[in-house]
């Protein structure tokens, strides 16, 4: 009992530490690169007093959109993963594993191929949400029809992910200009992201995070099981759809400007759950902060490890996330899947 109380007291400190880590990663991201920017010059640039200098221009035009994109995409994908794992009661579920990212990517490709460039940039977050939501609902339907075991969910997600991925390849093949830099989009990266791409998605991410936190108590009830939740008066079907809509919107908004980044939504929820527990409000908030920190750190590593060459951050995440997923499977080999 005393141990549980002590753990609850440590949760705010751990959330604060995660926020501090995200802030530190953002500062490092803004300062480091081919041209190093001193902290004083960084502050001047952010205050609008150093735009005329080389360092200030690099910060405002290149590194600020990229860093903001890392923070937002990391927060969105990690929170989306936490919500999906909670709703589906499956620790192996994540936006990239069950095909949510691929669905969002397919609809973004369709949007880019069928609309003028200026309009497609504005509508990309909406298209990504529709694709992500369609995919997550399709996976949920298949899992319920075929059996709700964890392995069925993962296999259904893999199949649907491949189908949407093939659709994206077909769109790009038939309309080569649909996604400029499609290779970078498929791998996932933020090297060329602009504020025009980040700004529309930012509002989607902020609003959906706020909505998920607002319904965190209902998510906690949902974790008790469908029958128990219904007996407590929770409309399980509507709540599940609403929560998955938040998750799809978060993942879709991130994919719209960062590409098909993987494993953030798998790694971060597991780490945060071990540190602060499974209470939905703390878990979602912790995942948002932890995901922002992780993706920003990985992006800095992608820039610096092989300088002057730069790796897409999606490659770094895959190197880290692949072994983590295998470890998770091995760790659960004796349990029911």
Tell me whether residue 44 is in a domain: no
Tell me whether residue 235 is in a domain: yes
CA of residue 174 relative to chain centroid, distance: 29
> pLDDT digits over 126-135, tens only?
888 888 888 8
> pLDDT digits over 278-330, tens only?
899 999 999 999 999 999 999 999 888 887 778 888 888 888 777 877 777 67
Q: Could you tell me the end-to-end alpha-carbon distance of the chain, in angstroms, rounded to an integer?
A: 31
Closest CA to 80 of 257, 248, 322: 248
Residue pair 170/179 in contact by the 8 Å Cβ criterion: no
In this structure, what are the phi and psi dihedrals at residue 46, rounded to the nearest 5 degrees?
A: -70, -25
Residue pair 269/82 in contact by the 8 Å Cβ criterion: yes
In angstroms, the CA 86 to CA 282 distance is 13
* Domain enclosing residue 121, as ranges: 69-331
In angstroms, the CA 147 to CA 304 distance is 46
What is the residue-averaged pLDDT of the chain? 83
Tell me whether residue 4 is in a domain: no
pLDDT higher than 70, residue 4: no
Q: Which residue has the tokens 């902020």?
A: 206
> pLDDT digits over 17-29, tens only?
999 999 999 999 9
Q: Which residue has the tokens 């936490």?
A: 82
Residue 78 pLDDT:
94
Tell me whether residue 64 is in a domain: no
The enclosing domain of 195 has a CATH number of 1.10.3470.10
Tell me whether residue 6 is in a domain: no
Tell me whether residue 337 is in a domain: no
Closest CA to 94 of 271, 226, 279: 271
Say how many domains are in the chain: 1
Tell me whether residue 90 is in a domain: yes
Contacts of 331 (CB under 8 A, 6+ apart): none
Give 181's pLDDT tier (boundaries 50, 70, 90). Answer: low
Does the CA dihedral 209-210-212-216 come out positive or negative?
positive
Residue 333 pLDDT:
56
Closest CA to 265 of 257, 276, 277, 273: 273
pLDDT higher than 60, residue 236: yes
Residue pair 54/33 in contact by the 8 Å Cβ criterion: no
Residue pair 284/180 in contact by the 8 Å Cβ criterion: no
- Pairwise pLDDT comparison (168 vs 293), residue with the higher score: 293
In angstroms, the CA 84 to CA 97 distance is 11
> pLDDT digits over 189-230, tens only?
888 888 888 888 899 899 999 999 999 999 999 888 878 888
Residue pair 69/291 in contact by the 8 Å Cβ criterion: no
In angstroms, the CA 140 to CA 25 distance is 36
Tell me whether residue 35 is in a domain: no
How many Cα neighbours within 13 Å face the side chain of 223?
17
Closest CA to 164 of 81, 251, 245: 251
């Amino acid at each position: 009992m005393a141990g549980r109380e002590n753990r609850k007291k440590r949760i705010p400190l751990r959330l604060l530490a995660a926020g501090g880590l995200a802030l530190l990663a953002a500062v490092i991201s803004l300062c480091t690169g081919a041209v190093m920017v001193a902290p004083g010059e960084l502050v001047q640039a952010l205050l609008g007093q150093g735009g005329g200098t080389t360092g200030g221009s690099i910060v405002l035009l290149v590194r600020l959109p990229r860093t903001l994109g890392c923070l937002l995409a990391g927060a969105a994908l990690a929170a989306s993963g936490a919500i999906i794992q909670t709703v589906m009661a499956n620790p192996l579920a994540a936006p990239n594993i069950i095909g949510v990212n691929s669905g969002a990517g397919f609809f973004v490709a369709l949007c880019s191929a069928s609309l003028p460039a200026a309009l497609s940039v504005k509508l990309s977050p909406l298209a990504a949400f529709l694709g992500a939501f369609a995919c997550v609902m399709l996976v949920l339907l298949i899992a319920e029809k075929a059996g709700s075991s964890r392995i069925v969910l993962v296999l259904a997600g893999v199949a649907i992910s491949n189908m949407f991925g093939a659709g994206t390849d077909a769109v790009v093949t038939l309309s080569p200009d649909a996604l400029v830099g499609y290779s970078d989009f498929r791998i996932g990266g933020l090297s060329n992201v602009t504020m025009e791409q980040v700004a529309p998605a930012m509002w989607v991410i902020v609003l959906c995070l706020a909505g998920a936190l607002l319904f965190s108590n209902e998510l906690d009830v949902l974790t008790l099981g469908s029958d128990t939740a219904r007996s407590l008066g929770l409309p399980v079907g509507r709540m599940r759809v609403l929560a998955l809509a938040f998750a799809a919107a978060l993942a879709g908004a991130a994919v719209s400007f960062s590409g098909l980044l993987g494993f953030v939504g798998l790694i971060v929820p597991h780490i945060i759950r071990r540190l602060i527990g499974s209470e939905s409000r703390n878990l979602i908030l912790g995942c948002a902060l932890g995901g922002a920190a992780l993706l920003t750190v990985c992006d800095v590593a992608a820039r610096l490890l092989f300088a002057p060459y730069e790796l897409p951050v999606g490659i770094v995440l895959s190197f880290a996330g692949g072994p983590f997923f295998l470890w998770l499977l091995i760790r659960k080999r004796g349990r029911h899947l």
